[in-house]
Structure 1
Amino acid sequence: MSHTETIAYWQREISGHMPHLSRPQAAVLALWSYGMVLSKSSGITTIVSFLAKVLACPKNTLRQRLREWCYDAKDKAGRKRAELDLEACFAPLLGWIVSCWASQEHQLALALDATTLSSRFTVLAISVQYRGCAIPVAWYVMPAHQKGAWRPQWEALLQAIAPSIPSADSKKLLFK
């Protein structure tokens, strides 16, 4: 199977598990994730270099396409540009992960982590713990050292993923 065929297959998988994404959003997510896995990097320069080589397309075109995927709608070129609603991806992402588990798996371990990146950002992340891996499924990024409680953000993240937690009672997900 060629890289183009594999990316097209991956785009269909993404669309199947995240039907709320537009076709262009699913296409760029397929490029991002395919490039990340095969280049073993999350850096845009490495991903673009890899994808440009295997797809035989201009680097600048790919770079701009990947960059604009992350932009707010008002910052994108063109008339029909849509902004990605990241929070709408959290529950489908968790649901996709859970759907891949063996039927005898009955426990779901979630880790809540706050990480400060330099003095710029703090990332609140919820990750699924599975077989020695942590798979981030929901996150909130805020300025580092921002004053105030984090509880509202944690509760919002837990509520966002609640629909995909098997047998979840959303009230049990709130902090006591």
Structure 2
Amino acid sequence: MLKNKYLKQWSCIVSKHLPNLSLPQAVGLATWSFGIALTKSSSLTQVSRLIATINHEKPNTVRQRLKEWYQEAEAKKGDKRSSIEVSSCFAPLLAWVISLLPAEQKQIALALDATSIGNKFTVLSINVLLAGSGIPIAWCIVKATEPGSWKGHWQKLISHLSGVIPAEWQVIVAGDRGLYAPWLYELIVSAGWHPLLRINHQGHLQIPPSTTWTQLAGVVNTPGQSRSAQVVCFKTHPSNVLFWHVGISVTKTLG
């Protein structure tokens, strides 16, 4: 039972915006996020101690409850235990973020990111870019040494968010050059979003109506210069793209 009124209020908010969660799951998430925000730490020990203090409970009782919250069903005590299907939270989480934006806002920026955790894991995530920060709204974790393409993972992540953002909104999707692939570009476009992906400067492009292939590195070669155009990119697998190229500095002219 929650005794702290602020924790109660936060639990109600979490349950309202993530209706896919059962009440115990929503309370668990609210307790974890409440404790993390106040302690500025995700340490199980620190969060347990804080919640125990403000909710008048024993630290070990809170610790066990918080630990069981993120465990698989078979690791929990009791007969009616279940695992949390994290992907079911992605769409409502994005809808929650959108609901907090100004009513007049009709655009949103997303970022695709791949972050390696040592040589063990890689976290693939889609984030809402807001006020200089990235808010993770969909993610999956793969083994760093896992062979094969990430295509299936990105397809699932994007499909979870399909239809959440109002159709009339402009959606910019940014990604680093390491994430570029023709299938990813097409996947973003098929979702009704606008790709803003970095590519290597060794490539070539055509600027219609010309059919001559021009080196990408030579299109912009002066610091501060910029250029945008609808072009055909890549000799091997030609694709119509909106090209945007900026000169940053003398030693690094590609942005």
Common topology (TM > 0.5) = yes
Q: Within 5 A, what are the aligned runs for 1:15-164?
A: 15-164=15-164
- Unaligned segments of structure 1, at least 5 residues: none
Secondary structure at the aligned position of 1:163 is classed as coil
Secondary structure at the aligned position of 2:4 is classed as helix
The structural deviation recorded for 1:173 is: 5.6
Indicate the larger mover: 143-152 or 88-97: 143-152
1:143-173 deviations in whole A, cap 9, x for unaligned? 1121110111011101111232221899326
Change (3 A) 1:157 1:173: farther
Letter in structure 1 aligned against 2:98:
V
Aligned partners of 2:129 and 2:29: how far apart in 1?
A: 23
May I ask how many residue pairs the two structures share in their alignment?
175
- Identity of matched residues, %: 38
Aligned partners of 2:81 and 2:44: how far apart in 1?
A: 21
1:17-67 deviations in whole A, cap 9, x for unaligned? 111111100111110010011111122222112212222211111111111
Q: Is the 8 A contact 1:159 1:170 kept in 2?
A: no
Indicate the larger mover: 53-62 or 95-104: 53-62
Runs of 4+ in 1 over 4 A off after TM superposition: 173-176
Change (3 A) 1:160 1:125: same
Under a length normalisation based on structure 2, what TM-score does the superposition of the two structures give?
0.64
Q: Is the 8 A contact 2:114 2:122 kept in 1?
A: yes
Q: Is the 8 A contact 2:41 2:47 kept in 1?
A: yes
Aligned partners of 2:46 and 2:40: how far apart in 1?
A: 9
- Unaligned segments of structure 2, at least 5 residues: 170-187, 196-238, 240-255
Quick one: higher RCO (CA 8 Å, sep 6+), 1 or 2? 1
Q: Is the 8 A contact 2:3 2:56 kept in 1?
A: no
Change (3 A) 1:81 1:147: same
Secondary structure at the aligned position of 2:32 is classed as helix
The structural deviation recorded for 1:3 is: 7.0
Under a length normalisation based on structure 1, what TM-score does the superposition of the two structures give?
0.91
**1:11 is aligned to 2:30:** no
